[in-house]
Structure 1
Amino acid sequence: MLDLVFLWHMHQPDYRDHQATAEGSRFVLPWVYLHAIKDYSDMAAHLERHPGIHAVINFVPVLLEQIEDYVEQFDSGNFRDPLLRLLARPSLEPLDHTSRDYLLQACFRSNHLTMLAPFPRYQRLHDVYRELARHGGSAMAYLSDSYFADLVTWYHLAWTGESERRNRPLIAELMSKGEGYTFAERQSLLALIGEILRGIIPRYRALAERGQIELSTTPQTHPLAPLLLDFNVAHDSLPEVALPLMPNYPGGRSRVDAQLDVARRSHIQRFGAAPAGMWPAEGAISPAYVEQLAAHGCRWIASGEGVLRASLHASGLAQPGAEQEPESARAPYHPWQLGGAPGLTLFFRDERLSDMIGFEYAKWHGQDAARHFVDTLERILAATPPGERAVVSIIMDGENAWEHYPYNAYYFFEDLYGLLESHARIRTTTYSALLDRADAPVATLPRLLTGSWVFGTLSTWIGDADKNHAWDLLCAAKQSYDLVLASGRLDAQQCAAATAQLAICESSDWFWWFGDYNPAPTVAVFDQLFRRNLSNLYQLLQLPPPAQLAKPISRGLHESADPAGDDTRSASGAMRRAQDAATS
């Protein structure tokens, strides 16, 4: 028998500018609600259609907070997301130049092959834009207000999940009409979006309550906790990597404790029970962090296969380049424990199969992809020695891959989950269910090396000059935070607001995007938001923001900034392979 664990990780960073305004926080990017109506909804629907499939679903608290923020916007009618505000606007006539430019920038952001080209009327809007763009910016004045009404409507239709399209007649009706959308029709679409958003958290809670899924969490805002604890751990996997000028993040251990405590409270509040396990942000772990997780009562965590390989080499249990040896090849297929973290079990991601889902199967026919996946599992099972029970972990982003699949991966999941439900020797399960079994095989890992699921290192978040500069800016802000809070000049409410803002600044996502290998337009947005978050923190501390926060940190890779080009999220850096494509 082979035990298969799917861990679908649901995460978006905080896209809000929390500077106090009369309306409240303003959303800078719309990815939370767009992924909610497409991916979080579809992933729940796949499980609801296949009750024999079990999985682990990991929700980061900052994502859940934003979903609830959107629900409140729909309940109040006060939309603080500019894209929703324009969809909800009674009339798009006249539309000011800023709003017109914004819609043209925003409403072609998708994988055009799967989310634009299949819809001729939406494709026509794109073709018109491209033709006018050839004649310069002034040609855009010829676009009518009805063009923009159709554009904002089609963009939201294209971002609906395939399961929603099959269950919601309104979506089919609007797609069939194709153009000339009225305010009443846009109102109906807006109401449907609100309904889908309201159902996201309750649907996953219901799946957990009936025992089909296990819900896990990540520290509050998805921080790179090993680096908060100690910058020097980056040298474990990359001895020559450059570090920030600051020796360490001030008070990192207490900040990790706080992030873990908030995550636990968030989980209990939203799902009615404490989480048993955790996907550390980016699967990034270090010995000190694992011990801290164990002290917080964490029962299991998961990380990348590259971390396990490096740790086995460091422990003398395998040699570099020995991944093809039988013992090394089987190493990811059973749980591990670390001596300094009693009660905590580690699982490691199967890089090849996880990356096949993330990057390759989208190019295959759904049945062929599902059959190949199951065939690979059967080969792992056949190679398992008698008396052992293989545990295969598929751990990956639960949202960004699916827009690269036809029909948002609907047929892939139908075929895959269908094959697995009927398989006699492969059983989908959860990590807690595995640990509850008396026969769960656990090996001891003598030494753990610090790393993440990406390349087995922390290089995605530290070492580059831009990333290190961002860490120095964050460290300086944290020093100011510590001094102001110690002075007693802020009241309890002001301290809480500053602490919440600090947590946002600690997210790993800002450091992910810095560097010259990500596209410049995307880097610019995240760069600006990170610096704005730091500025907001200084203002909450009643201090003037440093002048250097007015200067961009990173420029990114300068290619085409054309939003109507054939953009894909994977090409723009939202997803990454566990290894370089040349070596994976």
Structure 2
Amino acid sequence: MAVGFLWHMHQPYYKNPVTGTYLLPWVRLHSVRGYYDMIALLEEYPEVACTFNLVPSLLSQIIDYTDKGLRDTDFLLSEKRPADLTFGEKKQIITRFFMGSFPTLIEPFPRYKNLLEKRGKPGREGGFEAAVKHFSDQDILDLQVLFNLTWIGFMRRKDRNIADLIRKGRSYTESDKAFVLAFHIETMEKIIPLYARACLEGRIEITTSPFYHPIGPLLMNVGYALRSMDTPLPAEPFSHPEDLDVQIARAMDYHESLFGVRPKGLWPSEGSVCPEMVPILAGHGIRWMASDEDILFASLKQARTGAGLYRPYVVEYGASEVGMFFRDRPLSDNIGFVYAKNPPEQGADNFIGYLKNIAKGAKAYDFNPFVAVILDGENPWEYYPDSGERFLRLLYEKLDESPEVKTSRYSDFLDRNPPDKRIVSLYTGSWINHNFSIWIGHDEDRKAWEMLARTRRYLDEKGDDAHPLAWEEVYIAEGSDWFWWYGEDFSSANDEDFDNLFRLHLSNCYRLHGESPPLELSQSIITHHEVVPVRLPSGFINPVIDGQVSHFFEWLKAGCYVPPDTSMSMYRRKPFMSRLFYGFDHENLFIRLDFSAVPGNGSVSLHVVSPGEYVVYAPLKGDTLIIYAVSDKTREKKVELPGHACRSILEMKVPFAVLDAGLSQRMRFFLTIHEGDLEIERHPATGVLSFSIPDEKFERIMWHV
């Protein structure tokens, strides 16, 4: 039996092509971690074959750093001496230089954790403005070093100088900082040559994706979304299969320019497929593509079986055909979301045990089985305590020694095992819920598609006079990542940055022609819209604030909000909060949070955005609420009062009077969950829950309803 790892390496396009500046540091930070670690580690296991999907827009950004000398804003801020930083630059550093997983990138470093505690929460009693005043030049210098140092992955931490700096832990010098920053660029310079050499030696296969990672079926026609979901469509139609053709053609050419050969395989962005893509792929010489198991069984119109899943297929459309693999979702997701929370030995044993069970069942097959394991190659490792080193080493060692299971490159397996099963009606969908809800299912998504459609039409009307770089901006804006962060499904600390970048790319299309962009492109797409909960409040409640469900009826008439599964950049990490209940009597607002897991050093903040702006701070250990009035993003403590308890659940009671909320006014709010001083969740992610503060008519009206 063969198992095929496909590690997908991708980042959004963070560069402003007009100015040549990089606005976010993620290409660099993931380069010194996952992108380098994954290929460098594999050099120690030459018998383990893997496939890496290297998205062209990622590769071009790495080359911008290594060959063209471009740098991101955070790199430039890191270079500056603390004494030369402006107040605003210092504020930016203490705001941004804690980006990363708290348990794995911050907490293990006492000085780094201490600096985070010193910074405190944003906006609290003066917020980061006050924190800046308390940060000495040495504090800033240590933060500059630690932010860049802790992102370095396990393979490069073996460098003696880096190991010495980690042990040093504090009191860094300017020369220490210069070494770390130069080490980042030196590491980036090694990445593409390492992958190229491994490919040339036959140890790995390198595949590609459409250049800027667009959702192919939606690029061809946004109406294709209706094949797998019920959703309103954007008011502006968008149907440009020629753009997908361009993005694939350019990906093929760019890949060949770097690695000397054209790729045989392609991972469609987000595993998004439709039958109409097949002729485009086949026309560019693509032999195979891949997607999720849900796409397979929706295409076959049958239930999941191992005999159906563990084999390649031929997908037909008209006279064209390509091979196709389908990922084992549970096994792939275990690496991405489960094993990080368990001892590495247990994770590796579970993975091998899963494969052995497949092998036992495969004895009845009349074909050689192939298990496709496909997932992000960079994002999971941020959440493993050692960046995944121990787990990966154990996994590769066990696979190397296994008599039953051998690793294989995808194209090699196809050569040895030509598919004899065909799919004549490929289901249209993605690897997430086999639909496109993430990218077109929300008002914000659709607004973004409408802006893209209008800007592209503007370029079409320019004809031959259209600036070539303006077309580049459109292709960039077609990328999946901008739409990923719009809507309710996902949220991150960089939501506003992604929104700004998307609109910047479209605005540049007009500026390149000496024209002012439309007003809509200067206005954020993100809206704090009202989110419809699972259940609206239906009557007064009066729960006992004791941190547990005292009886069945106490929250029965409360409203209930259930968050979607969210994560910063990967799908399906369970949020800490599983349910949010809210209700009221004549005088008080009641909040209840049910947790799937309780943050260890946690707190919850209730953010009231109207009728007045307040923050209610509730530490999970304790029973005292702190109410802050908010003005111009600055918090001023108003009152402390008893009013919450956390045992099996969190319960909170807040008088309307302390929030200056009157009868019949509309109250809008959201909650954030913190671990230490780090915000880890927001509910709803981009909207607000709301209700009208009840008057004496409320219960009578609800009784009639």
**TM-score normalised by L of structure 2:** 0.74
SS at match of 2:286: coil
Alignment CA distance shift 1:450-1:541 (3 Å): farther
Partner of 2:65: 70
Contact 1:223 1:508 in 2 (8 A): yes
Structure of greater Rg: 2
Which of 225, 239, 259 is equivalent to 1:271? 259
Q: How does 1:307-322 map to 2 (within 5 A)?
A: 307-313=295-301, 318=302, 322=303
SS at match of 1:160: coil
Paired with 2:465 and 2:377, the residues of 1 have a C-alpha distance of 43
Alignment CA distance shift 1:332-1:483 (3 Å): same
Residue 330 in structure 1 maps to residue 307 in structure 2: yes
Contact 1:54 1:430 in 2 (8 A): yes
SS at match of 1:301: strand
- The structural deviation recorded for 1:195 is 0.9
Partner of 1:130: 120
- The structural deviation recorded for 1:88 is 2.2
What is the one-letter code of the residue matched to 2:109?
F
- The structural deviation recorded for 1:557 is 9.2
Partner of 2:7: 8
Contact 2:315 2:321 in 1 (8 A): no
Contact 1:453 1:578 in 2 (8 A): no
SS at match of 2:439: coil
Contact 1:454 1:578 in 2 (8 A): no
Partner of 2:678: none
Which of 482, 487, 497 is equivalent to 2:460? 482
Contact 2:344 2:391 in 1 (8 A): yes
- The structural deviation recorded for 1:517 is 3.5
Q: How does 1:238-249 map to 2 (within 5 A)?
A: 238=229, 240-249=230-239
Partner of 2:148: 156
Partner of 2:135: 143
Paired with 2:221 and 2:574, the residues of 1 have a C-alpha distance of 24
Q: How does 1:94-493 map to 2 (within 5 A)?
A: 94-130=84-120, 134-137=124-127, 138-140=129-131, 141-166=133-158, 168-238=159-229, 240-249=230-239, 252-313=240-301, 318=302, 322-323=303-304, 328-340=305-317, 342-384=320-362, 385-437=364-416, 439-484=417-462, 486=463, 488-490=464-466
Paired with 1:468 and 1:180, the residues of 2 have a C-alpha distance of 50
Contact 1:334 1:391 in 2 (8 A): yes
What is the one-letter code of the residue matched to 2:156?
E
- The structural deviation recorded for 1:442 is 3.3
Partner of 1:533: 505
- The structural deviation recorded for 1:221 is 0.3
Contact 2:566 2:572 in 1 (8 A): no
What is the one-letter code of the residue matched to 2:572?
R
SS at match of 1:555: coil
What is the one-letter code of the residue matched to 1:294?
A
What is the one-letter code of the residue matched to 2:316?
G
- 1:266-324 deviation per Cα after TM superposition (whole angstroms, max 9, x unaligned): 101111111011001111010001222112211000011111121111xxxx2xxx33x
Paired with 2:377 and 2:99, the residues of 1 have a C-alpha distance of 19
Alignment CA distance shift 1:387-1:116 (3 Å): same
- The structural deviation recorded for 1:516 is 2.6
- The structural deviation recorded for 1:194 is 1.3
SS at match of 1:339: strand
Partner of 1:51: 46
- The structural deviation recorded for 1:503 is 1.1
Contact 2:567 2:573 in 1 (8 A): no
Partner of 1:562: none
Tell me which protein shows more helix as a share of its residues: 1
Alignment CA distance shift 1:134-1:542 (3 Å): closer
- The structural deviation recorded for 1:95 is 2.0
- The structural deviation recorded for 1:128 is 1.6
Alignment CA distance shift 1:172-1:558 (3 Å): farther
What is the one-letter code of the residue matched to 1:45?
A
Which of 462, 485, 491 is equivalent to 1:513? 485
Partner of 1:40: 35
Which of 552, 572, 576 is equivalent to 2:571? 576
SS at match of 1:347: strand
- 1:175-225 deviation per Cα after TM superposition (whole angstroms, max 9, x unaligned): 122222111111111221111010010000011011010000001100111
What is the one-letter code of the residue matched to 1:18?
P
Contact 1:334 1:442 in 2 (8 A): no
SS at match of 1:292: helix
Alignment CA distance shift 1:128-1:432 (3 Å): same
- The structural deviation recorded for 1:80 is 3.6
Alignment CA distance shift 1:579-1:460 (3 Å): farther
Paired with 1:164 and 1:463, the residues of 2 have a C-alpha distance of 41
Q: Which moved more, 1:4-13 or 1:444-453?
A: 444-453
Paired with 2:188 and 2:126, the residues of 1 have a C-alpha distance of 39
Paired with 1:529 and 1:103, the residues of 2 have a C-alpha distance of 20
SS at match of 2:186: helix
Alignment CA distance shift 1:520-1:170 (3 Å): closer
Paired with 1:125 and 1:133, the residues of 2 have a C-alpha distance of 17
- 1:129-166 deviation per Cα after TM superposition (whole angstroms, max 9, x unaligned): 22897542343212111111100100111100011112
- 1:495-534 deviation per Cα after TM superposition (whole angstroms, max 9, x unaligned): 3212211111111111111103433743222111101111
- 1:241-269 deviation per Cα after TM superposition (whole angstroms, max 9, x unaligned): 211112333xx121111111110111011
Contact 2:268 2:291 in 1 (8 A): yes
Q: Which moved more, 1:547-556 or 1:191-200?
A: 547-556
Which of 75, 84, 93 is equivalent to 2:83? 93
Paired with 1:37 and 1:11, the residues of 2 have a C-alpha distance of 14
SS at match of 2:83: coil
- The structural deviation recorded for 1:481 is 0.8
Aligned residues: 540
- The structural deviation recorded for 1:441 is 4.2
Paired with 2:300 and 2:98, the residues of 1 have a C-alpha distance of 46
Tell me which protein shows more strand as a share of its residues: 2
Identity of aligned residues (%): 36
